[in-house]
Structure formats: C-alpha cells, structure tokens
Amino acid sequence: MTALALELCCTMMKDKRHHSYAGVVVKERVLPQALVLVKSPLLQGQALQTLQGFFTALVQSASTSFDILLDALLSTARGSSSGGGPASKQAFHSVAQCAAVLCLAAPDAKCSSIVSMLINSVENSLGQDATQLLSLLCLGEIGRRKDLHSHINLEGVIIRSFQSPSEEIKSAASYALGNIAVGNLSKYLTFILSQIDNQSKLQYLLLHSLKEVIARQSTDDAGKVDFKGTDVQKILALLFTHCQSEEEGIRNVVAECLGKLAILEPGKLVPALKERTLSSSAFTRATVVIAIKYTIVDRPQPIDMHIKPCIDSFLMLIRDEDRHVRRAAVSALSTAAHNKAVLVKDLLPALLPLLYDQTVIKKELIRTVDLGPFKHTVDDGLELRKGAFECVDTLLDNCLDQIDPSSFIDPYLLSGLSDHYDVKMPCHLILSKLAEKCPSAVLAVVDTLVEPLERTVTTKMKPDAVKQEVDRNEDMIRSALRAIESLNRISGDASSRFKAFMNNVVKSGPLAERYNAVRHESDAVVTGDIMDMS
C-alpha cells in the first residue's frame, strides 16, 4: 500500500496538467510522512524504491528546493531536537539511498558539490559518528551510480575511516569503498586488490569492500558491474591465496566472495572449488565448502546444474579429519536442505550416518586449560554438535521421507537431550517435531526420554549464579516443557513411567505454573492453525 500511494503521488507530480498544484499539496501533506517513513527499520524492497522516486519527483515538480529537501532528508538520520535521537541502522541506509538518487537528479555541478561536501564531512566529523556514518553511506550510494574519480584521493579519505574506533564507521567505510569501486572498476578495483595485499591489518574490511563489488554484479541493475576476464583472474588469485588465512573472519569473507563469484562464473569457479577440496590445507578445504554454501540460494540459478553433479565432493568432507572442515560441511548440508533439498536428497543415505556421528560427544575434542588458580574445560566439538542437530532439524522439514526416526532418536537424540545447553535447545525442537510427524517412533522410546528431560526441568542453579545463567536455565526449562507437552499430546495410554513423571514432576510442585503457561501457548498455536485451515 505504501508503494502504491507513493506511486500515485509521483504520477500526479509528473502530470503536466496539474503537476504544480499536486507538488504543493504533496509537499505539505505527504512529505512530512515520507520523512517519517524513511526512518522505519521495516522499509525495504518496492516501498524503498518507490520512495526514492518520490523524492526525485518532488524536486522535479519545482515545488520543493533541492537544498531544503536534501537537508531535511539527511537530518532525519542524524537526529534533531524535534525528531529525537539518531535513527536506526537500517534508516541510515534508506536515507543514503534516497539522498543518492536525489543528487543524481540534480545538475552535474550540484551533484559534484554535494559529493565534495560529503567528503569534507567524512574528514572533519571526528567524534560525530552519525554525521560521519551517513556521509560514508551517501558516498557509497552515489559512487555506485556515478563515477567519482574526479574527486582527488577519495579512496584515501575512505581508507582513513578504516582506523575509526567505531565498528559502524569502519563497516560503512568498507561498504562505501566497495560501492564507489562499482562506478569505476578500472581505478578503484585495482586499488582495493593492491591494498588487500599490502595492508594486512585492513584485509578484513578491504575484503568486505571486494564483496560489495562482486555482489553488485548481479543484484543491482542501477550499479551493475561488468568484470573483465583479467579482473576475474586477479580476484580469484587473491581469494585463493587468502583461503589459508589464520583468521576465521577473513576466511569467511573470502568464502562469501568465492560463492558470489561462482554464481556469476559457474563454469570456471565450480571446478576450481572442487579441485581445492583435495587441498592439504584444512583451512582451504573448509573455505571452499563454505563458498559452495553461498552458491545455494532459494531461487533457481544456472549454477545449480554445475553443482548437482559434484556437490558430494564438498558434502562428503563431513568425514574430514579436521573439525573446522566437518563444521563447514554440516553447515553447507543444512543450507542445501533448506534452500534446494533436491540437490542432496539422493546423497542422504550416505550422509546421514556421517551427520549423526557429528552429534556425539568426542573426548578427543575436550581439553583442559590451566588458568593458574583453577582449570577450565573447553569443548571444541560443541559448535559442531549443535550445528549437526540444527541440520537434522532442517532435514526433518524438507527431507523427512529419507530419515528413519527410530535410528536417530536412540542413541543420538537421547545423547543430545543430556548434552550442553546449546545442544539441548535444538534437541527439544527436534523432539517436538518428531512427536508431531512420527508419533509412533517417539512413543516406542518414550520411557527412555523421561530421564534426560527430568534432569533438565529439575536443574537447580548455584546460589552465586549470575542473572544471565539464571535466564539461560529458565529458557532451557521452558524449551524442555514444550517438548514434554508435545509428548503429552500423543501419549494416550503411555507407560506408567511417563504418566508418573507428568503427574509427580511436571504437573505438580514449582513446575506446574510454568508447564500450564507452555500448554496454553501450545493450545493457542493449535487453535490458530485450525483457524488458518478454515
């Protein structure tokens, strides 16, 4: 409705028969609401695109001064005495996009002066985070739509912002540099690639800039990039070199860059990624598996036909000797099952036993760290087990016909129900889902489920536990109670052990009130589902 209303305003302002009158009315009645709308954290998609056209049409109708409108637009993000504090992070991006199209609608000389003003603002707004953040985002949005190479040392100004103590400013500077490069690849892409090699401390931010350049290739017609063959070769050489970086953050950005580039050049990239699954470097193997994960999106792509014949080469690394590689393979399997289950269904008979094995506690991944007066136990396999159970949860949604619930529940789910907090939470969700979709398999082992669930809901916190620990324990108990309620719904004439557990532990004592609250939540969901079906 927002997009349609704004479209109507644009149409009236462009109509020569009454554009002057319409412009005045829109300025008085609609513009104030548009300036409120642009600050909404929910603004996106068609509504945001139409809002950009609205501001342009308003200036072109000659009823509103360019300078006044631009100042009003920028002020909404900076915050003012009448508008309260600074806007949300999303609002900064929305305002920057609207300001960019507004500047591009102005004469070239005016646009150039605005860019110079923004550059000056970036350099001289130290300590004024909102102003500096907005100026950087505006430069990026203008730069991806218009070549800014005439502004001397623009890239140097942006790079200096990488040194800001504010993470938001550094992120905005990275975003700005990448988008400015879209407007002039021959100058700025070369600069980014050389800086990645020469500025080791800035590699993470510079790789994010490169990611912006690659992403704009296919996602934005307004700033579409056309890579030359030599550009692709240079980017690939750099990315494959940094696959072996010691820093996980850098490897993750490299993987995302490779994945987005593979979508654009599947014939070249997919074989290159597959080749590196045999690399002697565990970091490289993990990075290329994560890269494949980024190629599996929820809409059809030409790359799908390239991935399907060889995706097993990536997913079978779930049995790799390195836990980082196994974690990457589990994550890729989960993404494939969620976005394009057809890619992995035929492989599940071989993959499921390997996936289930990742849910088991492995003593060799547990180590003790000596901190002097006391010792701390570190479980390096925790994230892997959590990811494996989350992957099973996804498979239950999209590939249930390939799963034998009985062989998974005992022993794997039972083990997870007695594991760490981070593992128990997805296990409770899985148990609820199995109770709904495979009730007979769950009822067959309901007695064995009582013990781990009872231990969870009767957990007592230490007297000196901090609030965060208490809150986490409460969340875990509520999660377990939801799973118990799912079992209760299908129990019928269940064994005396489960009935005794329900009567003596769950429905009485301190748990009774919390259980009733959970049960009412569940009843409300079921009622809502029935109403939706009606």
DSSP result, 135-163: HHHHHHHHHTTS--TTSTTHHHHHHHGGG
Residue 208 burial (C-beta neighbours within 10 Å; 0-12, 13-18, 19+): buried
Kind and range of the H or E element at 368? strand 366-370
Statement: residue 531 has pLDDT above 80: no
| Average pLDDT across the chain, whole number | 90
The contacts found for 307-312 with CB under 8 angstroms, 24 or more apart, are 307/266, 307/270, 307/343, 308/343, 310/270, 310/274, 311/336, 311/343, 311/344, 311/347, 312/347, 312/350
How high is the pLDDT of residue 64? 78
Mean pLDDT to the nearest integer, 339-344:
95
| Cα distance between residue 103 and residue 99, in whole Å | 6
Decide if pLDDT at 268 tops 70.
Answer: yes
Mean pLDDT of 118-137: 88
> With bands split at pLDDT 50, 70 and 90, how would you rate the model's confidence at 85?
low
- Statement: residue 108 has pLDDT above 60: yes
Q: What is the pLDDT of residue 456?
A: 95
The tokens for 395 are 């498979």
List the single range of 41-50, 420-429, 511-520 with lowest mean pLDDT: 511-520
Q: Higher-confidence residue: 250 or 526?
A: 250
pLDDT band at 225 (very low <50, low <70, confident <90, very high): low
Q: Give the pLDDT score at 21.
A: 80
Cα–Cα distance for residue pair 523/154, rounded to 1 Å: 60
pLDDT of amino acid 79: 64
**pLDDT for 518:** 87
pLDDT at 82 over 80: no
Express as a percent the part of the chain with pLDDT over 70. Answer: 93
Inter-residue long-range contacts of 122-130, CB under 8 Å, 24+ positions, other chains counted = 122/157, 122/158, 122/161, 123/157, 123/160, 129/166, 129/168, 129/169, 130/77, 130/78, 130/79, 130/86
Beta bridge partners of 369: 376
Output the pLDDT for position 345. Answer: 95
CA dist 482 and 503 (Å) reads: 16
Give CA angle at 441 (435, 442), nearest 5°. 45
Q: With bands split at pLDDT 50, 70 and 90, how would you rate the model's confidence at 34? A: very high
| pLDDT over 80 (residue 528) | no
Bridge partners for 378 per DSSP: 367
pLDDT-derived band at 244, boundaries 50, 70, 90: very high
Q: What is the mean pLDDT of residues 155-183?
A: 94
Above pLDDT 90, what percent of the chain? 71
Give the model's pLDDT for residue 322.
Answer: 96
Quick one: pLDDT at residue 222?
A: 46
For the ranges 151-155, 225-229, 523-527, the one whose mean pLDDT is highest: 151-155
- Note the pLDDT of residue 125: 74
- Best-predicted range by mean pLDDT (208-222, 223-237, 333-347): 333-347
CA distance 385 to 362: 10
Q: Pick the more confident residue, 17 or 239.
A: 239
The 3-state DSSP class for residue 464 equals: coil
Is the pLDDT at 493 greater than 90, yes or no?
Answer: no
- Residue 402's pLDDT is 93
